[in-house]
Amino acid sequence: MLTYEHCTLCPRACGVDRSRGELGFCRMPGTALAARAALHYWEEPIVSGSFGSGTVFFSGCTLRCGFCQNYTISLEQYGAPVDSSRLRDIFLSLIDEGAQNINLVTPTHFLPDILPALTPKLPVPLLYNCGGYESVETLRQLEGLIDIYLPDFKYSDRQLAAQLSGAGDYPEVAATAILEMVRQTGPCVVQDDQLLQGTMVRHLVLPGCVDNSLGVVDWFADHFPDGSVFFSLMAQYTPLGPVSKTPPFDRTVTEEEYAAVESWMELCGIDHGFVQDFAAARRDYVPDFDLTGI
């Protein structure tokens, strides 16, 4: 059972009683907080579709990366309370607006409130959009509920993971979690240019960290050579958050850096996924977290 009491929802396993106001690493209470719920058009084409992804941005995060583009909600904890009943209404309202899926962004630390809102099953695919730093024990409680997992694989470099996300064990934890996600969803299924089922792994190239990206690509190519899992290589790094004034994280990724990773991706035979245009490295692509739809 997933609960806020003695919280072990994420790999941090803080063990605090959030239902009584104790705060763990995520600094979140025992009540879900969300900052935006709206149709979102800036995901991969097979996720956004023609009418947008029904995206709910939850506050807080189990990683709190120093470069997070959503830092106002992940680090500064901005958001409003939403109980299970309200979440269900939000999901159905987004579907009425034309959402082709419901996209839960950083949901792990609020699962006790989210799970009741998923019954009965929604009439569109349900996406679990997360940072990849997930507990397998928690993921197993989601089996049969999630149609699409959309995890990041941020780091192959343990030292970089510790520096930027306070999670030196990230490479091992994320690898194990992604394998569990793939076990649950099976191969990707696309119909009418829309992803209906499966797992798509995302990786954001960080400035000055090409070797970290090459390690992620290597791992993915070794484990999913058959095209059953999709890969999305992102170029949208924008200097935001606490590390934005610290070199090399005070600049965007260069075309040469991104091209080096993209070339390695191609050499490794990864042709089942997406690359990103450099126009995405702009603050304009960060949503307004103004409680729209909440």
Tokens representing 216 are 């992620």
Please state, as a whole number, how many other Cβ atoms lie within 10 Å of the Cβ of residue 23: 13
Q: Are 39 and 26 in contact (CB under 8 A)?
A: no
Looking at residues 223-248, what average pLDDT do you find? 94
Looking at residues 272-292, what average pLDDT do you find? 77
Alpha-carbon distances of 109 from 83, 184, 191, 248, rounded to whole Å: 14, 20, 31, 31
For residue 42, the model assigns a pLDDT of: 87
For residue 241, the model assigns a pLDDT of: 87
Asked if residue 156 has pLDDT above 60, the reply is yes
Angle at 200 between CA 96 and CA 165, to 5 degrees: 100
User: Residue for token digits 């709206």?
Assistant: 38
For residue 113, the model assigns a pLDDT of: 98
Burial class (CB within 10 angstroms; exposed 0-12, middle 13-18, buried 19+) of 192: exposed
Asked if residue 282 has pLDDT above 70, the reply is no
Looking at residues 37-47, what average pLDDT do you find? 95
Main-chain dihedrals φ then ψ at residue 53, nearest 5 degrees: -95, 130
Tokens representing 122 are 């929604």
Conformation bin of residue 134: beta by default, left when phi > 0, alpha when psi is -120 to 50: beta
CATH assignment of 18-285, given 1.20.1250.20, 3.30.505.10, 3.40.50.150, 3.20.20.70?
Answer: 3.20.20.70
Cα 70 versus chain centre, distance = 11
Percent of the chain with pLDDT over 70: 97
Q: Are 194 and 46 in contact (CB under 8 A)?
A: yes
Looking at residues 108-120, what average pLDDT do you find? 97
Tokens representing 289 are 């977290």
Asked if residue 29 has pLDDT above 80, the reply is yes
For residue 278, the model assigns a pLDDT of: 66
Q: What pLDDT, in 10s, does the model give residues 160-200?
A: 999 999 999 999 999 999 999 999 999 999 999 999 999 99
Looking at residues 62-74, what average pLDDT do you find? 92
For residue 277, the model assigns a pLDDT of: 77
Percent of the chain with pLDDT over 90: 90
